[in-house]
Amino acid sequence: MKLICSKSNLLKGVTIVSKAVPSKTTMSILECILIDASTNEIKLTANDMELGIETRIEGEILQKGIIAVDAKVFSEIVRKLPDNDVTIETDNNYQISIQCEKANFHISGKSGEDFSYLPYIEKKDFIALSQFTLKEIIRQTIFSIADNESNKLMTGELFEVHENELKVVSLDGHRISIRKVELKDSYEDKKVVVPGKSLQEVSKILSGEMEDEVRIFFTANHIVFEFDETTVVSRLIEGEYFKINQMLSSDYETKFTINKKEFLSCIDRATLLIKEGDKKPIIFRITDQNMEININSQLGSMKEEIDIQKEGRDIMIGFNPKFLIDALRVIDDEIIYIYMVNPKAPCYIKDEEGRYIYLILPVNFNAAVN
């Protein structure tokens, strides 16, 4: 095999596919990137058996061939090459020559035939949306997946398509995040659970441009994201997702509106008095047109008042401040609506159009708050 491509194109491709190279594996071939120039295009592929990424790069193929190369070594070499054309050449013993200007590397490769190719996916059922929208949906929900494996379903996100709406849901046992977006067309109903790790890697690759489209294909076992010159294939998480609608309620005893930026800034200030790992709650005392925020910790105490517009009962309730901050940071609205029932029931942050819902469970606190 012999090919020539620019360093920038090569580096971009290597950076994209490296996201599917496992950090730990007993199979050395999975630590490789496949360079495939066996047809009329140059393809780079990595696959950890859960997530696979393939991307095409521009270049000139002088001699067709295919080789697997250690991802870590190859990506470091490419990153530090001069900004010029790179020539990659292999021989029959899987030795690889990488040449750029006066730099000339020789490293060992592996047979491309031993590489674990991406599974063949019949691409028929798909939805289309902008890369910007998908990147935003992931950003606005991914923080509330569980980070441990005790319940596999909680480490993923529900992607549910109904007619012309995509709903994405995540939860970790303490909170639920829901985002809904309207699609341009209507589609068949779909309901799958996508690993959070796969979505995080997809989000890093997406351009985030409104005019750039991404197609999402569904099969029984896989989900495929196709955009630009890149294809990402991820295994789905098996199992029946939680019955989210049964966890949601439209009942409330207290409703108030508040300036999101002021609310977030206030909670941010309160967390200055919380040591890492400390589970001290923030206490809210909500009365007519006023919310008092309290924190008492080993480092000190803080009290601050914020103007609100309230309907319903007064309430005193405690929350883990991190959960509130995570939700508030991804809400773009200037004014937000918060609904509460009692100090032991979930609080809801949601808009009137139903585009988002953030459910957060309260925490117990000592009622004798100063």
pLDDT in tens, 338-354: 999 999 999 999 999 99
Mean pLDDT of all residues in 97-110 = 97
Contact between 215 and 228 (Cβ < 8 Å): no
34 domain-assigned: yes
The reply to whether 109 and 12 lie within a common domain is yes
370 domain-assigned: no
The reply to whether 176 and 218 lie within a common domain is yes
Alpha carbon 19 to its chain centroid, in Å, reads: 13
Is the pLDDT reported for residue 369 higher than 60?
no
Bridge partners of 95, per DSSP, are 108
Domain holding 333, by residue range, is 248-360
Residue 368 is predicted with a pLDDT of: 38
Distance separating alpha carbons of residues 187 and 356, to the nearest angstrom: 21
The reply to whether 153 and 230 lie within a common domain is yes
The reply to whether 274 and 339 lie within a common domain is yes
Distance separating alpha carbons of residues 179 and 137, to the nearest angstrom: 7
**Reported pTM:** 0.93
Alpha carbon 175 to its chain centroid, in Å, reads: 17
> How many Cα atoms are found within 13 Å in the side-chain-facing hemisphere of 247?
21
Distance separating alpha carbons of residues 97 and 201, to the nearest angstrom: 30
The reply to whether 229 and 272 lie within a common domain is no
120 domain-assigned: no
The reply to whether 184 and 91 lie within a common domain is no
Last residue of a domain, one of 221, 245, 269: 245
The reply to whether 70 and 177 lie within a common domain is no
Q: Which two tokens stand for residue 193?
A: 């659970």
Contact between 194 and 155 (Cβ < 8 Å): no
Kindly report, residue by residue over 155-205, the tens digit of the pLDDT: 999 999 999 999 999 999 999 999 999 999 999 999 999 999 999 999 999
Is the pLDDT reported for residue 249 higher than 80?
yes
229 domain-assigned: yes
17 domain-assigned: yes
Structural domains counted in the chain: 3
Mean pLDDT of all residues in 203-224 = 94
pLDDT interval class at 250 (50, 70, 90): very high
Lowest mean pLDDT among 41-45, 114-118, 157-161, 364-368: 364-368
300 domain-assigned: yes
CATH number at residue 56: 3.10.150.10
